[in-house]
Structure 1
Amino acid sequence: MRQFENPAHWDSAAQHYERTAHPFTALYAGAALARVSLTPESRVLDIAAGTGALALAAARTGAQVLATDFSPGMVARIAAAGLRNVEARVMDGQALALPDAGFDAVFSIFGVIMFPDWRKGLAEMARVTRPGGTGVVATWQARGAATFLLLGQIRQKLFPEREGMTMPAGVQALSDPGDFARELVAAGYRDPQIESVTHDYALDIAALAGPDTLFGMSPDWTSLTDAEKAAVVAEVRRMAGDQPVLPIPSTASIAVAIR
């Protein structure tokens, strides 16, 4: 089992994720929500919700939101927000314990793409979307985003002979918009519309004082020697120059399709 497929990994990372990744993924969640019209009568499902960047934003429209994740730690962070129109439940997105056609809009923001059986995840999304309802999926491009993207770029520069981290199969398979559209149709959706959205991840250079925390979730980091890690940190500092923050442009594809 790869680390990101283990719920215990996400349980232990939940608070750190909420503090560091959540504000960034919320930018893409906002872009996804802008493509769907929700009302207080809308029934919304967020699959692999993490700490709730999409779910909590959707709730602010007044919609009734169910947020699911396989990590109890992540679900606990969503529940801690205490919003009356958000229910948070532990659930495997590859086998949703939910009836068919129960939701007007079903979202997965960088979630389904991480599943071991991501095609099953897409099919489950379609199954629980009502006819005429909307499915929305966000995926990173092939080399990822934020610190993962930066680390991969630096490794390629400093250690070109070393293989980098292999991205999850879903990320690789859905990086091409044409392939992404075909997979959504195969899952049970129709008329997919796919757009690229880019935001800068703001890397606080002060965080380099604790690089194991900054980069520690990535095999591209944990596979390095201490000397190689020091070289990576030096390269990030060189790239930043006198800037206290290094922007890392990160592009996602956001697909909107009809059931």
Structure 2
Amino acid sequence: MPVTENKHEIPGHWDDAAATYEATAHPFTSRFAEDALARVTLTPAMRVLDVAAGTGALALAAARSGAQVLATDFSAGMVARIAAAGLANVEARVMDGQALDLPDASFDAVFSVFGVILFPDWRKGLVEMARVTRPGGLGVLATWQSEGAATFLLLSQIRRRLFPKLDGKNKLPEGAVALGDPEWLAAALVDAGFRDPAIDAVTHDFELRVEALDRPETLFGMSQDWVALSAAQQAAVVEEVRRMAGDRAILPIPSTALIAVAERQAR
């Protein structure tokens, strides 16, 4: 992958974040992974690929079907977390989703849950998903709608409210913006080689534990919007979250994803 100033495009960043991601993001993204799996019937005879698998929310859940699952991610730290689960029908390999080292038409179903949307070349990521899906097989993509989800969404809303004069240079990745629109998402899947995409919006609450505000880096540290704030601004964000929570121990953050399922076109 090319050298970049965006730390979210550097494998080492995700290696360092793997433990925190597994503890905080994995339980939440697992809910959307289950929604994606509910739209597809997997059997033990099938081969399944999870692209940009993170710590394996989709891959580990898909393994319950008995299918043979390959989970790929460009972060060795993430891959190690999946391998540590020790499931016999799950293989985890370090691989760039923009250039999958896999044969054409080799999988019955290919998933990416909040992965391809972060790629520098998300179009190439979708094309690679289609390339390795057999004709008639399924591509399944989960994307965030609007301004992201969970603490990223909350921080974006608070930052805009408290600091409206900030230049806003810390935007969501291009793929997250484009594929967060249902029409763009459908068109992108067709352009990549899929057909007849069915897209549903699904919402779950991210449950922010107010006690975690004592260590705000564990909540917001993966966001460029947070890193760009001064210490005083970060303190103001924390105080605003406490105000929003009031007496509650948990602040729910409704977060909406788009889940798309499309069939691989015949070659």
Shared fold per TM-score greater than 0.5: yes
Structure 1 stretches of at least 4 aligned residues deviating more than 3 Å after TM superposition? none
Equivalent position to 1:80, from 77, 84, 100? 84
Contact 1:14 1:73 (8 Å CA) reproduced: yes
CA distance in structure 1 between the partners assigned to 2:113 and 2:86 by the alignment: 21
Please name the residue that 1:242 is paired with: 247
Q: CA deviation at 1:178?
A: 0.9
Q: CA deviation at 1:154?
A: 0.3
Please name the residue that 2:193 is paired with: 188
Please name the residue that 1:8 is paired with: 12
Q: CA deviation at 1:160?
A: 0.9
AA of the residue aligned to 2:174: A
Equivalent position to 1:139, from 139, 143, 163? 143
Q: CA deviation at 1:163?
A: 3.0
* Counterpart mapping for 1:201-240 below 5 A: 201-240=206-245
CA distance in structure 2 between the partners assigned to 1:230 and 1:121 by the alignment: 38
The reply on whether 1:255 has 2:260 as its aligned counterpart is yes
The reply on whether 1:17 has 2:6 as its aligned counterpart is no
CA distance in structure 2 between the partners assigned to 1:253 and 1:187 by the alignment: 18
Contact 2:20 2:218 (8 Å CA) reproduced: no
Contact 1:142 1:167 (8 Å CA) reproduced: no
Alignment length (residue pairs): 259
Please name the residue that 2:45 is paired with: 41
For the residue of structure 1 that corresponds to 2:244, the secondary structure is helix
Q: Which runs of 5+ in 1 are unaligned?
A: none
Cα offsets for 1:185-244 (capped at 9, x unmatched): 000000001110100000000000011222111121111112111111110000000000
Please name the residue that 2:103 is paired with: 99
For the residue of structure 1 that corresponds to 2:180, the secondary structure is coil
Cα offsets for 1:25-67 (capped at 9, x unmatched): 0000000000000001111000000000000000011111000
Contact 1:40 1:62 (8 Å CA) reproduced: yes
CA distance in structure 2 between the partners assigned to 1:253 and 1:48 by the alignment: 17
For the residue of structure 2 that corresponds to 1:21, the secondary structure is helix
CA distance in structure 1 between the partners assigned to 2:121 and 2:222 by the alignment: 21
CA distance in structure 2 between the partners assigned to 1:4 and 1:219 by the alignment: 9
Equivalent position to 1:70, from 71, 74, 78? 74
Q: CA deviation at 1:142?
A: 3.1
CA distance in structure 1 between the partners assigned to 2:66 and 2:157 by the alignment: 41
Aligned sequence identity (%): 71
CA distance in structure 2 between the partners assigned to 1:163 and 1:129 by the alignment: 42
Contact 2:178 2:185 (8 Å CA) reproduced: yes
Contact 1:199 1:251 (8 Å CA) reproduced: yes
AA of the residue aligned to 2:212: A
More deviation, 189-198/213-222 = 213-222
CA distance in structure 2 between the partners assigned to 1:137 and 1:234 by the alignment: 36
More deviation, 78-87/216-225 = 216-225
The reply on whether 1:161 has 2:165 as its aligned counterpart is yes
Root-mean-square deviation (CA), in Å? 0.7
AA of the residue aligned to 2:230: T
CA distance in structure 2 between the partners assigned to 1:196 and 1:169 by the alignment: 20
For the residue of structure 1 that corresponds to 2:65, the secondary structure is coil
Please name the residue that 1:176 is paired with: 181
Q: Which runs of 5+ in 2 are unaligned?
A: none
